[in-house]
Amino acid sequence: MKLFFAPLSPFVRKVLVTAYETHQEHLIERVNSAPHPVNRDEAIAHYNPLGQAPTVVTDEGEALYGSRVICEYLDARSNGLKVFPAAGSDRWEALVQQALGDGITDAALLARYEQTVRPAELRWEAWRDTQLTKVTAGLDEVDRLATTFGDKVIIPMITIACAIGYLDFRFGDLNWRSGRPHASQWYERFAARPSMMATRPEA
């Protein structure tokens, strides 16, 4: 399968970590692209009208886009580890926690775009501050939940770890570890996984 990806995207990283954990990374042909908030990547848009990474083209020629969809596709193909609980309360809990991690990432990206993409004279600090409030509130919830994560490798853990990795990469001054010992200790363990090390963003 082909993966249209942006090397620094936390949503792309989420897909790649899932691929590594389900032992499918060797099946992915990475097509480096450069989608931008104000410049569509027409190579991606040929398959995905939104023009966004991650986008996958399967071996059968079917286009899949959005990290949630692609990760679930990889999970369905996996003959080993399953990162999505199959049914019942465990599945709903995992999906809600995945949404928490995705929401942290979304808010962090919007804050980043406001600060670096929007022209300086048009920047809206209150908007950026509101997005960062979502990030910190989400991290507080992660800290509350982290004592239940243990050594599980399922989609919410992958999603939350990639969100936090993005914060470390782009928001070093946020000091998110302060006052969140459970999230911090859990993340240090999860970030040492080979899948996380192999996909770590580099400036």
Rounded to an integer, what distance in angstroms lies between the CA atom of residue 94 and that of residue 100?
A: 10
Cβ neighbours for 40, distance < 8 A, ≥ 6 positions apart:
51
Burial class (CB in 10 A: 0-12, 13-18, 19+), 103: middle
- Domains of the chain and any CATH numbers: 2-77 (3.40.30.10), 88-198 (1.20.1050.10)
pTM (2 decimals)? 0.94
Tell me: cis bond preceding 201? Omega within 30 of 0 counts: no
Q: pLDDT truncated to tens, each residue of the chain (203 aa)?
A: 999 988 899 999 999 999 999 999 999 999 988 666 667 788 888 999 988 899 999 999 999 999 999 999 999 999 999 999 999 999 999 999 999 999 999 999 999 888 877 777 777 888 889 999 999 999 999 999 999 999 999 999 999 999 999 999 999 899 999 999 999 999 999 999 999 999 999 86
Rounded to an integer, what distance in angstroms lies between the CA atom of residue 202 and that of residue 180?
A: 25
Listed residue (16, 128, 11, 144) closest to 67, CA to CA:
11
Amino acid making up residue 145: L
Amino acid making up residue 16: L
Q: What are phi and psi of 144, to 5 degrees?
A: -65, -40
